[in-house]
Structure 1
Amino acid sequence: MSAKSIPMVYQLRSIFLAVSLGLLITGCRVGRPITPVSGTSLNRVDNLALGNPSQASVSDPNNYLISRPQYVLSYNRSRGIANWVSWRLSPSWKGDSRRTNDFRPDPLIPAGWYAVRTGDYTNTGFDRGHLCPSDDRDATPEDNAATFLLTNIVPQAPRHNREVWKALEDYERQLMSNGNDVYIIAGASGTGGTGQNGFATALANGKLTVPATLWKILVVVPAGSDNTFQITANTRVIAVTIPNTQTAADKTWQAYLTSIDALETLTGYDFLSNVPTDVQQLIELRIDGGNS
């Protein structure tokens, strides 16, 4: 081998390694959620960093795991809505892409299952309410469009959606603007809500459950924190549970503060399972005091 050929070999090896690394990173974005490793930054793909609250998997139709780059969720076939949706709000997800309003069935729903359609909400008196908000995912048109898949949507009382729930969503983004990243889990529980046309338990001839409450957990960490092991006994956590009614909007979201322990009792889920147990026990017991 000549002396001139050696640099070319190294160049080819470098190209091969770069291509291989690129394929691995791409695979991470579309594959199963990744559990954070201390010292490893997962950036935009750590939407399940706090843990899988219900141990959702692709083998359980009523606790069916759907993972995409924008968020991870547990879907309930019998209810036609998500049990929960988990995502991370950080500046890497924010941009100036317009709201797509492209409500549509989720292509990841298995063949043979009923896929909720946007028309199932028409004239029902309930909004198509986001769990992961549109404004949390506007870095690209593709990111924003993902929030309009109907597995991320639940029947929500209009005032609940547009007033008290929206105020909480706005506060999440305010926390981010103030220099934090926010890990968020939101879900729907129970059956029966009161929309613009009165009380209902289901839409679409029983295929789409109207939840009784919507709940949410926010875990606030310094911007750029690499993983859940940054969470300490002093980490701020905010938990709420808000009845799915028009009159819920007569109060601010702060009136519905609760503890993560109380939400675990309500849902049967194990939240923050990736956080060390001693830290969990302290922060899950607290009700937020409104510190900035």
Structure 2
Amino acid sequence: MLGFGASCSVEDVEPNQPLSQTATSNATATQDNHLAMGNPSAAGTSYSNYLVSKPQYVMSYNSYRGTPNWVSWHLSSAWVGTTPRQDDFRADTSLPSAFYRVQSSDYTGSGFDRGHNCPSADRTLTVADNSATFLMSNMIPQAGPNNQQTWAGLENYCRTLINVGNELYIIMGSYGKGGTGLNGYKETLAAGKVTVPNRIWKVIVVLPNGTGDVSRVTTSTRVIAVNTPNSTSISSTWGTYRTTVDAIEAATGYNILSNVSSTVQSTIEARVDNGPTQ
């Protein structure tokens, strides 16, 4: 399996300290490399670990599961504007012709949401950017409360961080088989073409706006790692599900922050975030 690694960090302060609303960076926010922190699964041309690079995000796609293994994206205020939600869910015709191209209708009546990996609200600068998040290659079958409450809360929190002078590197992924949606437990949709994941995770690295991002990740950089069950029986409080990057790597086999120095990785990937959640 493949996984993703991202982390969100506020400022280069002592680890897990509350975000200051005043001591933010004066640097101009920019749009940066989605894989700056690394390619977690060394994605390439394998049908189970296929690298897909788009202007808005990069993913490892698994044609056998009909979902991404992980999606990685950079988030700063430079990605956010006033474009409305496009809601144009559709097949990703850029995938190789040998792949089954998941249709929006494959989720119809399943009891699972078409759950975004890279969120619509993280890409509102242009219509093209927002529309790209509605490709079905960016979706997983996600239990409604998980998607609409727990993950929505975490996504909203990340956007509050960019509003006070930070940039984030976010990696979201899923693994395992079988989840519980509104119609009960299911392992696949679309006659087996789409796998329902058992666990859904995210890693967020938080940095003040600036340049040379990988070199600025230190042992005091805030990294948030979350791993949730894909179930309707889930707390709406995402902080409940905080874990370590190390634990997610152990479950997925990925090397999530592979471009960060090994010395720094050993510290930040072993730590459970206990910072603010809103």
Normalised by the shorter chain, which TM-score bucket? 0.7 to 0.9
Which of residues 38, 42, 49 is equivalent to 2:36? 49
1:194 maps to 180
Structure 2 counterpart of 1:269: 254
1:252 aligns with 2:219: no
Does residue 213 (structure 1) correspond to residue 202 (structure 2)? The answer is no
Q: CA deviation at 1:235?
A: 0.1
More contact order relative to length (CA 8 Å, sep ≥ 6):
2
Establish whether residue 68 from structure 1 lines up as the match of residue 54 from structure 2: yes
Contact 2:145–2:236 (8 Å) recurs in 1: no
Distance 1:142 1:84, change over 3 A: same
Give the root-mean-square deviation of aligned CA atoms: 1.4
Where 1:214 maps in the other structure, the secondary structure is: strand
Q: Structure 1 length normalisation: TM-score?
A: 0.83
CA offset at residue 179 of structure 1?
A: 1.4
The answer to whether structure 1 residue 149 and structure 2 residue 135 are counterparts is: yes
Against the structure 1 CA distance between its residues 257 and 280, is the aligned structure 2 distance closer, same or farther, given a 3 Å change threshold? same
Gaps of 5+ in 2: 1-27
One-letter amino acid of the structure 2 residue matched with residue 263 of structure 1: I
d(CA) in 1 for partners of 2:37, 2:29: 13
Q: Which residue of 2 aligns with 1:5?
A: none
Q: Give the conservation status (yes or no) of the 8 Å contact 1:87–1:185.
A: yes
What residue is the counterpart of 2:220 in the other structure?
Answer: 234
1:176 lines up with 2:179 in the alignment: no
Distance 1:42 1:51, change over 3 A: farther
Cα distance between partner residues in 2 of 1:225 and 1:203 = 43
Kindly indicate whether the alpha-carbon contact (under 8 Å) linking 2:31 and 2:75 is maintained by their aligned counterparts in 1. Answer: no
State the 1:42 CA deviation: 11
CA distance in 2 between partners of 1:278 and 1:226 (Å): 18
The answer for the alignment partner of 1:101 in structure 2 is: 87
**Following the alignment from structure 2 to structure 1, what is the Cα–Cα distance between the partners of residues 209 and 164?**
9
Per-residue deviation, residues 20-45 of structure 1 (Å, max 9, x unmatched)? xxxxxxxxxxxxxxxxxxxxx99424
Aligned length: 250
Partner of 1:127: 113
Equivalent residues of 2:180, 2:232 under 8 A apart: yes
Q: Can you list the C-alpha shifts for 1:144-181, whole angstroms capped at 9, x where unaligned? A: 00000111100000111100110000011011112110
After TM superposition, the runs of 4+ consecutive aligned structure 1 residues lying more than 3 A away are: none
Write the distance in 2 (CA, Å) between the matches of 1:43 and 1:86: 16
